[in-house]
Structure formats: structure tokens, C-alpha cells
Amino acid sequence: MLIVFVRAIVLYLIVLLVVRCMGKREIGQLQPFELVISIMIADLASIPMTDVGVPIFSGIIPILGLLLMHLVISYGNLKSIRFREIICGKPTILIYRGKVDEQKLKKERYTVNELQEKLRSKDVFNISDVEYAILETSGDISVILKPEKRNPTLEELNIDAKYEGLAYDLVVDGVIQYENLKKINKDYEWLEEQVSKFGFEPQQALIVTIDADNQIFCQKKGDKND
């Protein structure tokens, strides 16, 4: 039993490392080759994890081989458009200039109901509002609404937009984020002075952030809502 436990931990760490090396895509954004590799990795890891008669390296080596394959294919995708089209396919326009392309739906084995479901997931509840709907290679759908159905932008309303920028975490769970302090050209002494205005030390803070307007948000660890 202990051997199975240890093997499970080792394989978990290996799979975790491999998945991290593969990148940060969400499951719904995986390309076909990435999904295939993910499924195969899960299958390869499960066998030596539960069967102590199978050497653990019989699972680790193929998993590392799949990682290498993934890196090779990813490199090919970056370097060659033709290679990318072969491996990942091409986006398909399902709605073109407001009209559903029935042939493209059939080619992609998509029903009208499935198309409507995808549109609803994009907060589009009337198919007649859509100018273009593009089925991406990841399986997601990009939607362009008809001009009269789009929300007006600040530019179209002639309203000057205020620059917001990024809010930086300065303290997270009592840990000082020195890298972010460096980005805003501040030091620990400055941070300590700012946090002391709230009545405690930086190490006692749950979270401290600063936005582009130099507004500081600070909350102490252990504070409870009233």
C-alpha cells in the first residue's frame, strides 16, 4: 500500500511538471493535438500508479516522450503556417454577413441548436443579431455582432477614457512582494509607512494593493465582516 502511495505521488509530480511545461491553456482552449496528448498522459500515468507490477519508469518515459512530441509540434506551429493548418486545422465561418452557412455546419457536424447554444454562451440570444460567427480551431466560437447591435464604445460617444493601468499586489498573505515594489519605484520603508496608516505592519496584512491612481487598498489578516 505504501508503494502505491509513493508511486502515485511521484507520477502526480511528473504529470504536473509536464502539464506546466505544456503551457497555460484552459481545457476548452486546447488544440486537437494538445487534447490527444493530455488524454494519453492521463492513461499512461494511471497504469503504473495502480499496478505495482509495472515499473514506474514504464509510465514516466512515455510521458516525457509525449512532452517532447508536444514541444516539437508546438515549435512547428510557430514556424510554419502550413504545418499549423495540418495539425490544428483552420477557423470556419459558420455565419457570414448575417447568414448561416449550412454547408459549413454540415462539414463541422454542427447543428443549428448547437450553434445557438454557443451563441448564448457569448450572451447573444438572437441569431439575427450576428454578422459573423467563427468556429475557432480550439472549438470556441468568436462572434461579431451587426453594427446596430454592438455596444457603443467610448470613442464613438466622444468620451475621453481615463487610463486605469494595473493594480499591483504589494503584500499577499503577509508576504512582501518586493518585485512589485521595485516596479513602482518604492521600497519597504515606504510600504511600512503606508500600511502603518491602517494601524498595523505589512507582515500582518492579508492583502495590500496599489492602483494607477496611487490608491492603496489594505486589509489586515483576521479581519471579519460585520
Q: Can you give the pLDDT at residue 131?
A: 96
Q: Quote the pTM value.
A: 0.64
Q: Can you give the pLDDT at residue 141?
A: 92
**Euclidean distance between CA atoms 14 and 120, whole angstroms:** 39
CA–chain centroid gap for 197, Å, is 37
- The residue behind cell 459558420 is 94
Measured in residues, the chain has a length of: 226
Q: Can you give the pLDDT at residue 28?
A: 56
Q: Is 76 exposed, middle or buried (0-12, 13-18, 19+ CB in 10 A)?
A: middle
**CATH 3.30.240.20 region(s) of the chain?**
92-149, 168-220
Q: Can you give the pLDDT at residue 139?
A: 82
**79, 82, 88, 93: CA torsion to nearest 10:** 120
Fold category of 92-149 in CATH: CRO Repressor (3.30.240)
Q: Can you give the pLDDT at residue 1?
A: 65
- The residue behind cell 496584512 is 205
Alpha helices in the chain (DSSP H): 2-22, 32-50, 57-79, 81-88, 102-107, 112-121, 178-183, 188-196
Distances from the Cα of 98 to the Cα of 43, 106, 111, 195, angstroms = 43, 18, 17, 55
Q: Can you give the pLDDT at residue 138?
A: 77
Fold category of 168-220 in CATH: CRO Repressor (3.30.240)
Q: Can you give the pLDDT at residue 26?
A: 52
Residues of the chain with pLDDT under 50: none
Dihedrals φ, ψ of 140, to 5°? -80, 160
The answer to whether 176 and 188 are in contact (CB under 8 A) is yes
Annotate 161-188 with b (16+ C-beta within 10 A) or e (fewer): eeeeeeebebbeeeebbeebbeeeebee
Annotate 117-146 with b (16+ C-beta within 10 A) or e (fewer): ebbeeeebeeeeebbebebebbeebebebe
Q: Can you give the pLDDT at residue 27?
A: 55
